[in-house]
Amino acid sequence: MQLSISKRQQLLAAVSALLLLASRAEAGHDGDAPPATPCAAADRAALLAFKAGVAVDTTGILATWVDGGDGDCCAAWEGVSCDAATGRVVSLQLDAPPPATPRRRYMEGELSASLGELAFLETLVIRDMARIGGGIPASMSRLSRLKQLYLEGNALAGEIPGDVLSHMSSLQYLSLAGNRLEGHLPPELGSVSGLVQINLAGNRLSGELPASYKNLSKLAYLDLSNNLFSSEIPAFFGQQLKSLTLLDLSNNGFSGEIPASLCGLRNLTDLSLSHNKLTGVIPSQIGMISSLNSLSIDSNLLVGSIPESLFSLQKLWNLNLSRNGLSGSVPPGIRHGLPSLVSIDLSHNHLIGGIDHFFRSISPPSSSRKNASSDMSVIFLPRELQHLDLSKNRITGALPEFGGGGGAASLRWLDVSGNAIGGQIPSSISKLIGLQRLDVSRNAIRGTIPASMAAMASLRWLDVSGNGLVGRIPDEFARMARLRHVSFRGNKLCGKIPQARPFNLLPAAAYAGNLCLCGKPLPPCRRI
């Protein structure tokens, strides 16, 4: 559904007005509300002790925290919000300003044990301060009302204190991402049964995933990416963590097979297992995860073929299976296609089969189009498709004829290089008018270069090298002023190179190994 621009603006204005109202109400500025109780003395003292633990603050936030006078910590201190009735601090939210300024803003120091005194705290955010180091103080185990704990983007070190976190019995959102935490995952965390989100990405965590996490039945978001985990993925993830919508285990050393039980996670939208050491096959039931939007299993050691069921995922917009040992044919046959597809990368595998079959299996059948009378052999790509990479496989067949509209206009990147594709370049390739990069190099494509390609006005990268192309480089190409990288190398081309930028300025190597090309940058053409 497309909203018109004015509708969108109205919507945005309404939303920001609501947010403003909400923030006023929270800060106790609403004109009709009774006057807010000033900051409780105990909380004020705890905050000042926290400030004392920060040796350097270039964000300017703590400069607003001044003692004495009318400095009500609830009203005047940046990042502090209180319960208007009790004057108790319920939220402490310290975000570094976005790094637009030339020098990165930061706070340097340690988390004070005084944070444990903020007994009514529900939200604690200390984010992107870069130089807040040390450990998570044991006193924080007293924060039994804490629902959100975000300590991301700091320099916290040591192990995750499981005993401290397990006392935060109200905790729902936990992020300690982007720190220097090491050691194993604390099994005690499995007892915090209200947890909805755990983000521990970007640390130095290792070891096993504790069995006690079975009890986290509300967990919707689990991100353990960019750590040093090397265990197997436990089967209980799929059997018990039924609320998972996002599971990111990428950039670790996870080994063993992908448990088939993961396919039972019916609410999963994002699954990333990229850059691990996973072996075996992609579970054939993967198509059961019908809610899946994004599946990334690239850079593993997977073998076997791509399960056909994968090509029934109607909501899938990102698929990356690149850099594995996948073999067999690209799933053939006309089904429903992958109508939501935006990006598909199957590069660097051992896939075989016809490229025309592949295009047919991702594209909605033409009978689903209004113009059902159109030629069945013409491919109408998925509507939003932008990126398609099949390079470095053993794919055969010929490029199909492309229809216009939809995906033909949105596709920006098409790379089928390093395969065994034959046939000719179809002149209907010019229907891919949004294409910025076209790489058909190192195949067995014959015939001439269609002059219609000159209409591909967005093209910046064109590589047709290492094929069996004959004839001339069409004179019409002189119009393609946006091209930055071009290679015609290693074909059987002949005749005059278009004498226009960039063609006459390219290195001669871009034309090497042809039959009889001439004109700048090669020697002039001679009359025979």
Q: How far is the CB of 521 from ligand NAG (least distance, A)?
A: 32
- Please name the residues in contact with 163: beta carbons below 8 A apart, sequence gap of 6 or more: 138, 141, 186, 188
Interaction between residue 374 and ligand NAG (CB under 6 A): yes
- β-pairing, 107-110 with 54-57? antiparallel
Near ligand NAG in 103-132, by CB under 6 A: none
Select the span of 69-77, 99-107, 114-122, 366-374 touching ligand NAG (CB under 6 A). 366-374
Near ligand NAG in 273-312, by CB under 6 A: 274, 298-299
Select the span of 18-26, 44-52, 195-203, 315-323 touching ligand NAG (CB under 6 A). 315-323
Interaction between residue 322 and ligand NAG (CB under 6 A): yes
- Please name the residues in contact with 264: beta carbons below 8 A apart, sequence gap of 6 or more: 238, 239, 242, 288
- Identify residue 363 by its one-letter amino acid code: S
Q: Is the C-alpha dihedral spanning 449, 451, 452, 454 positive or negative? A: positive
Q: How far is the CB of 230 from ligand NAG (least distance, A)?
A: 19
- β-pairing, 470-471 with 221-223? unpaired
Q: How far is the CB of 350 from ligand NAG (least distance, A)?
A: 16
- Of 175, 304, 306, 167, nearest to 246 by C-alpha is 175
Q: Rule CB under 6 A: choose which of 116, 190, 202, 331 binds ligand NAG.
A: 190
Q: Name the residue nearer to ligand NAG (CB basis): 238 or 474.
A: 238
Interaction between residue 376 and ligand NAG (CB under 6 A): no
Q: Which residue has the tokens 């033409």?
A: 366
- Adjacent-strand bridge partners of 93: 125
Q: Name the residue nearer to ligand NAG (CB basis): 274 or 443.
A: 274
Select the span of 108-116, 178-186, 368-376, 476-484 touching ligand NAG (CB under 6 A). 368-376
Q: Name the residue nearer to ligand NAG (CB basis): 120 or 402.
A: 402
CB atoms within 10 A of CB 19: 10
Cα 135 from Cα 68, distance rounded (Å): 31
Interaction between residue 18 and ligand NAG (CB under 6 A): no
Near ligand NAG in 213-272, by CB under 6 A: 214-215, 242-243, 267
- Please name the residues in contact with 142: beta carbons below 8 A apart, sequence gap of 6 or more: 116, 117, 119, 167
Q: Name the residue nearer to ligand NAG (CB basis): 269 or 396.
A: 269
Q: Rounded to an integer, what is the distance from CA 420 to the centroid of its chain?
A: 31
Site string for ligand NAG, 329-358 (x = CB under 6 A): --------------x-x-------------
Q: How far is the CB of 233 from ligand NAG (least distance, A)?
A: 17
Q: Name the residue nearer to ligand NAG (CB basis): 305 or 343.
A: 343
Q: Rule CB under 6 A: choose which of 323, 431, 442, 489 binds ligand NAG.
A: 323
Is 315 exposed, middle or buried (CB count within 10 Å of its CB: 0-12, 13-18, 19+)?
middle
Q: How far is the CB of 298 from ligand NAG (least distance, A)?
A: 3
Q: How far is the CB of 313 from ligand NAG (least distance, A)?
A: 17
Cβ contact 94:126 at 8 Å: yes
Interaction between residue 320 and ligand NAG (CB under 6 A): yes
DSSP 409: H
Q: Name the residue nearer to ligand NAG (CB basis): 62 or 273.
A: 273
DSSP 274: -
Cα 110 from Cα 94, distance rounded (Å): 14
Q: Name the residue nearer to ligand NAG (CB basis): 134 or 187.
A: 187
Q: Rule CB under 6 A: choose which of 88, 387, 412, 442 binds ligand NAG.
A: 387
Q: Name the residue nearer to ligand NAG (CB basis): 11 or 376.
A: 376
DSSP 478: G
Q: Name the residue nearer to ligand NAG (CB basis): 135 or 194.
A: 194
- Identify residue 170 by its one-letter amino acid code: S
Select the span of 206-214, 252-260, 277-285, 355-363 touching ligand NAG (CB under 6 A). 206-214
Select the span of 21-29, 104-112, 320-328, 426-434 touching ligand NAG (CB under 6 A). 320-328
Instruction: Compute how many residues bind ligand NAG; rule: CB under 6 A.
Output: 21
Q: Rule CB under 6 A: choose which of 100, 375, 481, 527 binds ligand NAG.
A: 375
Write out the two tokens for 142. 């007293």
Q: How far is the CB of 169 from ligand NAG (least distance, A)?
A: 13
Q: Name the residue nearer to ligand NAG (CB basis): 40 or 192.
A: 192
Near ligand NAG in 445-484, by CB under 6 A: none
Select the span of 134-142, 172-180, 211-219, 485-493 touching ligand NAG (CB under 6 A). 211-219
- Of 344, 375, 349, 374, nearest to 359 by C-alpha is 344
Write out the two tokens for 22. 């909400």
Cβ contact 390:413 at 8 Å: no
Q: How far is CA 88 from CA 57, 92, 471, in A?
A: 25, 11, 81
Select the span of 316-324, 392-400, 476-484, 497-505 touching ligand NAG (CB under 6 A). 316-324
185: phi then psi, degrees, rounded to nearest 5: -70, 135
Select the span of 21-29, 280-288, 332-340, 372-380 touching ligand NAG (CB under 6 A). 372-380
Using left for φ > 0, alpha for ψ between -120 and 50, and beta otherwise, residue 275 falls in left
Three-state DSSP class for residue 142:
helix
Q: How far is CA 288 from CA 195, 267, 278, 340, in A?
A: 26, 10, 21, 17
Cα 209 from Cα 83, distance rounded (Å): 38
By the criterion CB under 6 A, which residues form the site for ligand NAG?
A: 190, 211-212, 214-215, 242-243, 267, 274, 298-299, 320, 322-323, 343, 345, 371, 373-375, 387
